[in-house]
Amino acid sequence: MSEQRPVGTILNMLGMLGISLILTVAFTYQLALGELPCPLCLLQRAGFIAVGMGFLFNMRLGERGSHYAMILMASLVTGFISMRQVSLHLAPGDPGYGSALFGLHFYTWALIAAVGVICYVALVFVLKDMAGERDGDAPMGGPASNVVCAIFALLVAANLLSTVLECGAGQCDDNPVRYLLLR
């Protein structure tokens, strides 16, 4: 007989998979198309990594209000950074920065995703309440959890390495065209 996982546990794992997908798409465009992220793009990635860390903490340490607060705060900051970049490219005739995915630039998708994460956390709270679950559930273990956490950890490490290669120890170029440390 298999033990049923709490709703919050499953939703945290799905949240982390969603964040991993966001990081994977951005990283794929960077590697496959040679589109290096600008400083605001890097800040948005860092924001999504912070969101993912909140989901990771819930999975590994047990669900806590402080972990959800971290997810919400990181989403708000990421959303504000994205809005800043969107506002930089509102002028008529401005082609925007980087390529588009389904007609929208990544910073616009980042804004949509940040708002989506906030709505998702609200949904998690509602579904947990409907299921009668409270914070403080035991940490999630098992092979599925380990794989999801490993994927996220690999993406964080790869993004860190690529950022160091792109920017070195100094400020990143506003419009990067090559990796600073690979010249």
Residues 40-92 pLDDT 10s: 999 999 999 999 999 999 999 988 999 999 999 999 999 999 999 999 998 88
What is the distance between the alpha carbons of residues 101 and 162, in angstroms, rounded to a whole number? 22
What pLDDT shows up at residue 1? 41
30 C-beta neighbours (distance < 10 Å), count: 19
Sign of the C-alpha dihedral computed for residues 37, 43, 47 and 52 taken in this order: positive
What pLDDT shows up at residue 24? 96
What pLDDT shows up at residue 136? 64
The runs of H, that is alpha helices, within the chain are: 7-33, 39-61, 65-88, 106-130, 143-167
* pLDDT tens-digit readout, 12-29: 999 999 999 999 999 999
Question: How many alpha carbons fall within 13 Å on the CB side of residue 169?
Answer: 0
Q: Could you tell me the pLDDT band of residue 2, with boundaries at 50, 70 and 90?
A: very low
* pLDDT tens-digit readout, 90-143: 888 888 888 889 999 999 999 999 999 999 999 999 988 888 777 666 667 788
Model pTM? 0.91
User: Does position 10 have pLDDT exceeding 80, yes or no?
Assistant: yes
Amino acid at 48: F
What is the distance between the alpha carbons of residues 98 and 85, in angstroms, rounded to a whole number? 12
What pLDDT shows up at residue 48? 98
Residue in the block written with tokens 């950022």: 163
